[in-house]
Amino acid sequence: MTDRKKSVIYIICAYLFFWIAFSLIGVVMMLVVEDALAFQDSTLMQLMVAFAAWTPTFALFVLFKKLYPSSSIKEFYKNAFRERLNLKLLLCITMIQLVMFFGAVGITAFSQEVSFNNLIHITLPTLISSFIFTAIQGSTGEQSGWRGFLQPHMEKRFSVVKASIIVGIIWGFWHTPLWFTSGYMGLNLIQFIIAYMIGITCVAVIIGICYNHCKNLFVPIWIHFMFNFTLTMYTGELLVALTWLTVLYVPVTVGYIIWYQRRFIIRLANGD
């Protein structure tokens, strides 16, 4: 099986599994329609969302022998986490993500003429709860497939930046069901989709570049985790904050691309 065919089959499977899981969540909510609002905040709902977020990894497991006929899942993860972590890189991207998040909240507060504190809710219990549920959801559940498998396969045919953009677009459209259950309609929905797609593509490029710099799967997991985790501290209108966050992510992503290209040129000059 060619690498291109492997990628296509994996993408189809990951989409199909997620949409089935998302549909099951919808069916359950219909069955408890009288108490739907309470169910949305329940632990069971959180676990179902976590299950749906793990569908890219489930797709990887189901297709594993076709994707890696001469390897095992144990060897896959051993190789994925084998490289030594670059703590300086992780600290740098963490600080940048925090600055962008609080910057977006600050701009939102200024534009809406409200207090910054009114848009942020930070307490130890909520931080612990958010940390746990964020850790077991998207970042951990998705990245084995999107970056552990798909990103390296895309890089066999494209540059790191182009491969990251392609994976980012695929990753973004994978979330399509979430757009139409966001509660937004009309122009607000269009704004949400545009901001979401640009923002997630920017995150994908940053992940791709940092993952190329440190070939340890924890890097994309951590970057994805920080993006989701910071948003759990925000209590205001998501659309406004997401829009401003996307605006901030664009120049930062350009900066990462410039950094990567300079490193690439230096490596070429040194014959690496």
Mean pLDDT value across the chain: 90
Q: Which of 48, 101, 133 is nearest to 236 (CA)?
A: 101
Burial 214-234 (b: 16+ CB within 10 A, else e): bebbbbbbbbbbbbbbbbbbb
Segment 163-200, tens digit of pLDDT: 999 999 999 999 998 888 888 999 999 999 999 999 99
Round to whole Å and give the CA distance between 57 and 115: 41
The pLDDT confidence band at residue 20, using thresholds 50, 70 and 90, is very high
Looking at this protein, which amino acid is placed at residue 269? A
pLDDT at 126: 81
- Cβ atoms of 207 and 219 closer than 8 Å: yes
Beta bridge partners of 234: 120
Residue 39: band (very low, low, confident or very high) from pLDDT cuts 50, 70, 90: low
In the chain, the amino acid numbered 39 is: F
Neighbouring CB atoms inside 10 A of 265's CB total 10
CA 44, CA 92: separation in Å to the nearest integer? 35
Question: By CB neighbour count within 10 A (0-12 exposed, 13-18 middle, 19+ buried), where does 19 fall?
Answer: middle
Separation between Cα atoms, residue 60 and residue 66, nearest integer Å: 10
Opening angle at CA 17, ends 54 and 14, nearest 5: 75
Per-residue pLDDT reduced to its tens digit, 40-87? 666 677 778 888 999 999 999 999 999 999 999 999 999 999 999 999
Tens digits of per-residue pLDDT, 75-105?
A: 999 999 999 999 999 999 999 999 999 999 9
Give this prediction's pTM.
Answer: 0.91
Side-chain half-sphere of 135: how many Cα atoms within 13 Å?
7
Q: What letter represents residue 124's amino acid?
A: L
The CA-to-CA distance between both ends of the chain, in Å, stands at 31
Angle at 52 between CA 253 and CA 122, to 5 degrees: 60
